Amino acid sequence: MFLRFRDKIILMPPTAPPNRRPLTLGIAWLALTLVFLVIGFREAIFIAPPDAAQGNVGRIFYWHVPSAMLGLVFPYVNFFASVAFLYLRRRNPHAALTADAWAIAAAEVTLVFTSICLATGMLWGKAVWGIWWAWDARLTSLLLLWLLYVAYLITRRLSTPGQTSTVGAILAVFAAIDVPIVYFSIQWFRTQHPSPVFGGDGSLDPTMYPAFLWNVAAWLMWGILILAFRFALERRRQRLDQSAILAALNPANDGANPGMEPGHAF
């Protein structure tokens, strides 16, 4: 992989020998995540009592709320990684590439969680409110966050080479600003969205805590798994791009350039 800064191309260090330890750890994490997901599903569907006011429709809560919570956490992974990229891109290009890989991975995980949140919220709204969508402050601000990350990923794919990561990082800043607006919207604005889960009138009944906490833990583990997996894929793509540029620069050596020092600038 290379970074283009003005008239320079910065090459990444050569690929390290394969290390099977991350694969083993990933498989173990996946197995544990599946166990937590199964337990969370069992608690939510078969163990937890029906909601006193909503009946079985209220069980959507066990997937809607964890996805909503995590959809507001991973944007800050994207934000801090994007800020790190902007800071490091001229000081330490190789570290900047790593930060950029974390940024795009976190953006995709955020889009998944916000999509699940919107979908489950619409299902709940149809059953309880009688409509699929209301231009409620919480729903509208979350939709804006979802659109920002759609724009982020489209920008990453379509923007001019060399500017992709920078433009994406700027969008990440706007998305981070929207997160507290989503969170506090039900306190700042008149809204028909239910009260917060913790505190206020929306406090959970103690019998609902086990199902809720199992699902929060399970979906957090799943999010971390997908984040790490997508980060590894992005780093692999970066290294494949490095091989391609080396091959283009020196086709006679099949992409290898023994005289090239890591971090050498052209």
Domain ranges of the chain: 26-46+54-195+206-237
Contact 141, 125 (CB under 8 A): no
Model pLDDT, residue 135 = 86
Residue 63 to residue 67: CA distance in whole angstroms: 6
Contact 132, 122 (CB under 8 A): yes
Model pLDDT, residue 245 = 75
Model pLDDT, residue 162 = 63
Residue 102 to residue 82: CA distance in whole angstroms: 8
**Crossing angle for the helix pair 61-71 and 74-88, nearest 10 degrees?**
20
Residue 31 to residue 25: CA distance in whole angstroms: 10
Q: What predicted TM-score, i.e. pTM, was given to this entire model?
A: 0.82
Model pLDDT, residue 156 = 86
Contact 198, 216 (CB under 8 A): no
Walk along the chain (266 residues) and give the pLDDT tens digit of each residue.
Answer: 445 544 445 555 555 556 778 888 989 999 999 999 999 999 999 999 888 778 888 899 999 999 999 999 999 999 999 999 999 988 898 899 999 999 999 999 999 999 999 999 999 888 888 888 888 888 999 999 999 999 999 988 886 666 787 888 888 988 999 999 998 888 887 777 776 666 555 567 788 889 999 999 999 999 999 999 999 999 998 888 777 777 777 765 554 444 444 443 32
Maximum distance among all alpha carbons in the chain? 73
User: 10 Å Cβ neighbour count for 82?
Assistant: 28
Which residues, 6+ apart, have CB-to-CB distance to 240 below 8 Å? 1
